[in-house]
Structures are given as structure tokens and as C-alpha cells.
Chain A
Amino acid sequence: KAGVTQTPRYLIKTRGQQVTLSCSPISGHRSVSWYQQTPGQGLQFLFEYFSETQRNKGNFPGRFSGRQFSNSRSEMNVSTLELGDSALYLCASSRRTGDYGYTFGSGTRLTVV
């Protein structure tokens, strides 16, 4: 079966711009979580969506937002990009909320210049 698909794979944006990242979970997986990974902070939880509802949110500013569609696909948006937003953004899916045996996508590498 197809894995978790994240698009785009790489992205270069300028400070102040906004960006939208996409994640298509494994078929049948209804929970989608987003993580930011940087060398200094490691993996930081952004938010989790289940059945189109945000279940939990990490300690990130309001510039970071997301949504989930009825087919479980999810998008995250970052507005007014800052240099510090440069990171690998990972999407993880599971069948249900609270199931942390995730299947991760390959990530989107965002570089802000």
C-alpha cells in the first residue's frame, strides 16, 4: 500500500512569504500529526488532526496553522515566514488518535532565505 506522501519535497521561500505543505496519509489512517525537526530543537510537535478536527496543538505561534479534509489529507500553512522556520517538516499518520506507532512521510525541507 502507498505510504504517507508529503509534497513538495523541497521548498525555498523568502522571509515574509507564506507556504502551504501537503500530506496524504495512508489509506484508512484518520489521524495526521505534524512535526518540525531542526538540529537544535529536535522533533517538535506542531498539531494533530483527527476527523477534520484539531485534537492537540504544540507551542508554536499562530503563524502555524493546519487543516484536515474529509479524505484525511492534511495541509499546514506557515504565514509571514521567518529565517528560524527553516526546518524539515514531517507528517505522521495513524489509524486513530493516541496511536503513536506512526507512519511518517519523507518530509518537506523548507529553507527560508
Chain B
Amino acid sequence: SQELEQSPQSLIVQEGKNLTINCTSSKTLYGLYWYKQKYGEGLIFLMMLQKGGEEKSHEKITAKLDEKKQQSSLHITASQPSHAGIYLCGADTRDDKIIFGKGTRLHILP
């Protein structure tokens, strides 16, 4: 099974609506990273979470880390067309590399 599960795989929301993407690890998390990717392009680093209960925000995007549950959630408030893309979480499990989830494809309907 996948070490890092993201849900949902795909999401279609009306512009202005809120949404949440989840990322769950089967291993202990020592750091959780959120990235955004435009189709066929490189990834853009959004934010990093390291401590249990930590919450960070960047513009209208907020990410939280639940260390005990080994999961993180990414929440977008009042979604805009610029939020469309693929959101990937990456986990530092102290394995000398970061593993990525398969991504959540987000579409925003005008």
C-alpha cells in the first residue's frame, strides 16, 4: 500500500467555496511538506510543518499537522481560479529522502 495517501484524488469546487485536502502517512512523520504543481511543470513549495499541532497559513491556504494521527490537512478558504492545480504532500520519515503522495487535482469552476 502507498506510504503516503492523499484524499481526495480529484476535487471540483465552485469559485468562492472552501475545500480541504488530506494527507495520511503510514510512518512516523518528522516533517510534512505541501507543494503545488501546475500541469507539466515543476512543484512550488507552499509550506512545511514539523511540530504536532502546528498550523501555518499563506494567503488563503492553511495547513495543519496532527502528529498523533500522522496526518495533515490543507484548507483553502474562498477558492479562486489561481488555486487550481495539483497539490502534493511530501513526508520526511527520516529515511534520508522525502516521499510524496500521488497528489490531489483541484479544479475551480467559475
Residues of A within 8 A of B (CB): 4, 6, 33, 35, 42-43, 45, 48, 55-56, 58, 88, 90, 92, 98, 100-107, 109
Measured CA separation A89–B30 after assembly (Å): 26
List of B residues within 8 angstroms of A4 by Cβ = 42
- Find B45's partner among A48, A102, A107 (CB 8 Å cutoff): A102
A/B pair count, beta carbons within 8 Å: 50
B7 to chain A, nearest CB (A): 14
- Find B41's partner among A33, A43, A101, A106 (CB 8 Å cutoff): A106
Chain B residues 57-110 with CB under 8 Å of chain A are 88, 90, 92, 96-103
List of B residues within 8 angstroms of A109 by Cβ = 40
Q: Is the CB of A42 within 8 A of B101?
A: yes
List of B residues within 8 angstroms of A103 by Cβ = 45
Residue of B33, B35, B103 with most chain A CB atoms under a 10 A cut-off: B35
Interface size class of B (residues with CB under 8 A): 20 to 34
B94 to chain A, nearest CB (A): 9
Q: Is the CB of B43 within 8 A of A48?
A: no
- Find A58's partner among B33, B42, B97 (CB 8 Å cutoff): B97
Q: Is the CB of B43 within 8 A of A56?
A: no
Chain B residues 35-62 with CB under 8 Å of chain A are 35, 40-45, 48
Q: Is the CB of A42 within 8 A of B102?
A: yes
Measured CA separation A98–B95 after assembly (Å): 10
Please name the 5 residue pairs, one residue from A and one from B, whose CB atoms are nearest each other, closest first. A104-B42, A42-B102, A43-B100, A100-B98, A104-B43
- Find A88's partner among B40, B92, B100 (CB 8 Å cutoff): B40
- A107 touching B48 in the complex, CB below 8 Å, given contacts A42-B103, A45-B98: no
Residue of B35, B98, B101 with most chain A CB atoms under a 10 A cut-off: B98
